[in-house]
Structure 1
């Protein structure tokens, strides 16, 4: 069986290749660049609970080494605090330079035996048939590559998208920001800040080692931002927050960042797929384009894994576009609807009292991963089997509760994701205080274990001492990407089988797994 070809070695392409390799699928990653990213402290990524957990599972160590968790979120207006949010009831966003994230993922990919990184290789042609995809590159590796599938993670100017003839409509220059990364001391160490002090709106978000990234919203059409103008913005903002005196600071990086909103018409063409900036561009009002690309990778990886190992229905592969495109479209739609009110003020003043407060809440949601601008996506389950309620809505991302794994260890639930198998979680209060050997053969466990072993796709049985909103003996069926597919009151083998079959969108023709999972050799050079 041929490997999956991933075009592009940014955070999305590397994450997808690692996610596939973690499920036993070999990948060839075609990187147009040299494999070395220029450090840009002002180009950063904020990750929330689901994407941070994914990156951690993939073996990226830079979250721990170079990331900074917000200690709080502070909102100000004209120098006065109007809101402060702490993260006592949930995980804080983690903020790090994008080059550090990319480097950590690249190091993990380079160390994985099922990932082959090919640098300085630019895609210039591709062909596909009913058995696979053939791609041609020029550069250091001028050759043809053969893959079972191909995924374009090659950015906003995607060659894959252009070769497939997929349109990329949308809006240009939705927002412009002046950006600076600097090392300084602010009165609120480790806290992120949104300051809406007309005529400017500025955010300050902490990075590691006392560094902050500052973003100033600029007029959509305006003069170029000169170095002197940027220094004035920096000094004025710091003075506003520090009692009228500009504290010492070290300027590390600057830039002007223009945001666009675009959405590809199609995300799948036969055996070819689009992900990340190749499929969508967003980022206004605090939304995170890289984070949405990571969610693309997590959604697609388990579906391609199933297709590679045992064959997947066309409906399952189509569900990648249906789920992810719908989720990103909803995010873009929410931003487009909010933007006129937030940026001009007229619409919001007309329909809502307390316009400034409402605007601050909307912007905060985008930055903190909440509400229509930022919340984790919900995917409509293919079958409505929800016998008992839980705190997680059907199709939502599961809570990261402690669970007991088959080896008897207690681990966070999200640590068990990303392995290409369903998770069946039994809520059994009291099991947390007993050794596994005392309850694994008692009560519901033997019957549930037999039902799990009979499912049409690989599954793992876990036990949780509790789950928010779930009664004792509730059984949760969780997709490989962590979204809740079904819930049952007790052990229902027939219903569990039906729900598992619905998750894979029905059976497909079986494809024999290869005898060896070692990475196939590169195709020979033919020109």
Structure 2
């Protein structure tokens, strides 16, 4: 069968390629460039707990070795510290700050070790043609040719050629925010801590902005971002140096410390959302599908979640034939989540940037502006937290045995220790992304007994038989505990780590119905329906 074609070799495209290869799907990545990434210290990304776990799982390396986890977060207004967050082993998970070219290098190295992934460099997309049985892509360049695939995914960024060739509109707002950026090596008073400083006291006497952010990187390197006023005023090198010197002096009692300026730039944030994320056998992901990033929110996080969501659905279609409802759910789930993030940013924008009363926009809340901004930077709240697929078309309906647990249906599961089928202890997240549903039995006490003693006792034989009968590949796991889950409850988890449902005890009928819904329903098309499904929905 033909491979999946991925257009674009940025972090999202390479992540999707690795996720598909992990599920035994061959991939061709069309890379417009030469296969190398120019080091740009001013281009960095902040990874949340879930996306970092995804990348660690796919690359086989610990990205902590290449980036820096913040030890804390500090918000300041003028000279006063308004809030602090300390990241400890017992506290919230620290974000990881890493240079984008370092991340891309790690992804390229992992791709090179995957025989199922082929990267075609200097291959610029020129045309796309869809047929009933697949899709063809024409590239130009030194090795221009036609490529044949089962599906094609555009991960080719803001100016996506795939999106333009499919005539998909990309409405939104231009230049929502502009930031002057400088990456430098120096010593600051908050080693390892990120800082958001609003209305710094020195800003009246120089070019510094009303808001500046400092985020640490490894080896004493910091990325500084100054929020620029609306407009398109040119930021000159002299202006950037003046900002650097004045800001560093303001943070170190009036004397500018020694620093080594590594890179500078201007970062412009746009907010856009593609009208469609699927056109038959063609899909969009990452910046090709959406742009966001105001208030510190990380657009790459959402692009990586696109790849995680789409990979297992494409793998199911590649291995088991067309499941149109499953493929359609990619747009339904991911577009809704990103749209909610954009709506939240639009709602807060007049408050944080244009003045006005917070209660007019968000009645009943006592949270300040700084707390809202911190949420965006730290991946929390409406501005930053991972989305939930509660309204997904894949959500099961009317399950008699469904019970509430600490994770709502549709949300990402908590990473707990589980016992695998071979008796080994692993983390739940380690079992994700293999293409199988996960069935997790909550059984206190099993961790202290050898597997051979409890696999044939209690509810296990009945549950094992129910898992074997499911309409989709599934793996049975056992956990000592799970937040909010009573003993002998059963969790059904999607391959991308989102909870389908939690059931009270072993209920084979409900488990089967939930699994069937999670994979897009039963495939019972007749001959005409099957031919229509194979043709895809590109004509609609």
State the secondary structure of the residue aligned to 2:303: helix
Q: Could you give the per-residue CA deviations for residues 160-218 of structure 1, whole angstroms, max 9, x where no partner exists?
A: 00110101111111100001111111112111111112552011111111111111100
Within the candidate set 157, 174, 179, 1:155 is matched to 157
1:383 maps to 2:396? yes
Superposed, 1:284-363 pairs within 5 Å as 284-348=294-358, 358-363=368-373
Q: Could you give the per-residue CA deviations for residues 350-379 of structure 1, whole angstroms, max 9, x where no partner exists?
A: 668999961111111111111111111100
Contact 2:171-2:272 within 8 A present in 1 as well: yes
Unaligned runs of 5+ residues in structure 2 are 201-208, 526-540
Q: Cα gap change, 1:185/1:215 in structure 2, threshold over 3 Å: closer, same or farther?
A: same
282-291 or 351-360, which moves further after superposition? 351-360
Tell me the TM-score normalised to structure 1 length.
0.94
Q: Give the aligned partner of residue 178 of structure 2.
A: 176
Q: Give the aligned partner of residue 520 of structure 1.
A: none
Contact 1:475-1:489 within 8 A present in 2 as well: yes
1:221 maps to 2:231? yes
Shift of 1:64: 2.9
State the secondary structure of the residue aligned to 1:415: helix
1:364 maps to 2:374? yes
Within the candidate set 190, 193, 199, 1:191 is matched to 193
Contact 1:182-1:251 within 8 A present in 2 as well: yes
Superposed, 1:245-284 pairs within 5 Å as 245-284=255-294
Shift of 1:509: 6.4
239-248 or 19-28, which moves further after superposition? 239-248
Unaligned runs of 5+ residues in structure 1 are 511-527
Q: Give the aligned partner of residue 395 of structure 1.
A: 410
Q: Give the aligned partner of residue 122 of structure 2.
A: 120
Separation (CA, whole Å) in 2 of partners of 1:119 and 1:232: 41
Contact 2:72-2:86 within 8 A present in 1 as well: yes
Equivalent pairs counted in the alignment come to: 510
Q: Give the aligned partner of residue 107 of structure 1.
A: 109
Shift of 1:90: 2.7
Q: Cα gap change, 1:354/1:250 in structure 2, threshold over 3 Å: closer, same or farther?
A: farther
Separation (CA, whole Å) in 2 of partners of 1:241 and 1:60: 39
1:9 maps to 2:21? no
Separation (CA, whole Å) in 2 of partners of 1:98 and 1:457: 37
1:451 maps to 2:447? no
Shift of 1:348: 2.6
482-491 or 384-393, which moves further after superposition? 384-393
Shift of 1:85: 0.7
Q: Could you give the per-residue CA deviations for residues 251-298 of structure 1, whole angstroms, max 9, x where no partner exists?
A: 111100111011100000000000000000111111111111000000
Separation (CA, whole Å) in 1 of partners of 2:101 and 2:64: 15
Q: Give the aligned partner of residue 77 of structure 1.
A: 77
374-383 or 105-114, which moves further after superposition? 374-383
Separation (CA, whole Å) in 2 of partners of 1:106 and 1:350: 48
State the secondary structure of the residue aligned to 2:138: strand
Separation (CA, whole Å) in 2 of partners of 1:115 and 1:443: 44
Separation (CA, whole Å) in 2 of partners of 1:350 and 1:163: 43
Shift of 1:508: 2.6
Shift of 1:78: 0.8
Separation (CA, whole Å) in 2 of partners of 1:200 and 1:62: 37
Q: Give the aligned partner of residue 59 of structure 1.
A: 59
Contact 1:119-1:140 within 8 A present in 2 as well: no
Shift of 1:410: 1.1
Shift of 1:245: 2.1
1:231 maps to 2:244? no
Separation (CA, whole Å) in 2 of partners of 1:28 and 1:126: 15
Q: Could you give the per-residue CA deviations for residues 327-366 of structure 1, whole angstroms, max 9, x where no partner exists?
A: 0001011111111110011243766899996111111111
247-256 or 376-385, which moves further after superposition? 376-385
Contact 2:417-2:428 within 8 A present in 1 as well: yes
State the secondary structure of the residue aligned to 1:237: helix
Contact 2:347-2:361 within 8 A present in 1 as well: no
Q: Give the aligned partner of residue 435 of structure 2.
A: 420
Separation (CA, whole Å) in 2 of partners of 1:72 and 1:163: 45
Separation (CA, whole Å) in 2 of partners of 1:458 and 1:169: 39
404-413 or 93-102, which moves further after superposition? 404-413
Q: Give the aligned partner of residue 496 of structure 1.
A: 511
Structure number with the bigger relative contact order (C-alpha 8 A, sep ≥ 6) is: 1
Separation (CA, whole Å) in 2 of partners of 1:148 and 1:17: 14
Separation (CA, whole Å) in 2 of partners of 1:434 and 1:46: 41
State the secondary structure of the residue aligned to 1:472: coil
